[in-house]
Amino acid sequence: MGNQLIRKYTYLYGAFCPETGEQFSMILPHATGECMDIFLKEFSNQFTGYRVIMGMDNAPWHNSCLGENIVPLFQPAYSPELNPAEHIWKYIRGNGGFKNHTFNSIEEVEDNLCMAVNTLLADKSKIKSITGFKWIVTAISNSMIAG
């Protein structure tokens, strides 16, 4: 008797600072505007003292409610290589216990995802090295000089 393949999904929302290695992430059940609004509201509340430029691709759910302290910087279409978060996701898939692994439940997936994110959270230098593209670091440096 064979096993039936069942697919369930969960989504990791995240924001990463190439300058400091800080991150903010949430696991949410859907990739929708409603879930993006939850993420952005929580992010905005966490960083109320900051004015944040948040790089985003043009996914339909990214055109949601932004907090007053969040300025979106939308990437050109079909350019995931420009999005530092995509490189974080790739790193987690390759180094977070997901490669060639089957899980018995969505809860197992989420537990594993939490461990991978928490491990990465503890290594700010790793986040900086993954997300610190030269053009981003230059832009941050130039804004500090101008500001």
Q: What's the confidence (pLDDT) of residue 108?
A: 94
Amino acid sitting at position 30:
H
Q: What's the confidence (pLDDT) of residue 12?
A: 94
Q: What's the confidence (pLDDT) of residue 145?
A: 59
Q: What's the confidence (pLDDT) of residue 2?
A: 63
Asked if the model's pLDDT at residue 1 lies above 80, the reply is: no
Is residue 27 classed as helix, strand or coil in its secondary structure? strand
Whole-angstrom Cα distance, residue 147 to residue 141?
A: 10
Mean pLDDT score of the chain:
86
Amino acid sitting at position 123:
D
What average pLDDT does the segment 109-125 reach? 93
Please provide the size of the chain in residues.
147
Confidence of residue 139 (pLDDT cuts 50, 70, 90): confident
Whole-angstrom Cα distance, residue 137 to residue 19?
A: 7
Phi, psi values for residue 97, rounded to 5°: 85, 20
**140 DSSP 8-state letter:** H
pTM of the model: 0.83
**Range in 18-22, 31-35, 45-49, 66-70 with the lowest mean pLDDT:** 66-70
Q: What's the confidence (pLDDT) of residue 143?
A: 67
Confidence of residue 137 (pLDDT cuts 50, 70, 90): confident
What percent of the chain stands above pLDDT 70?
93
Beta strands of 1-147 (E only): which ranges?
11-16, 23-28, 52-56, 70-74
Phi, psi values for residue 98, rounded to 5°: -105, -25
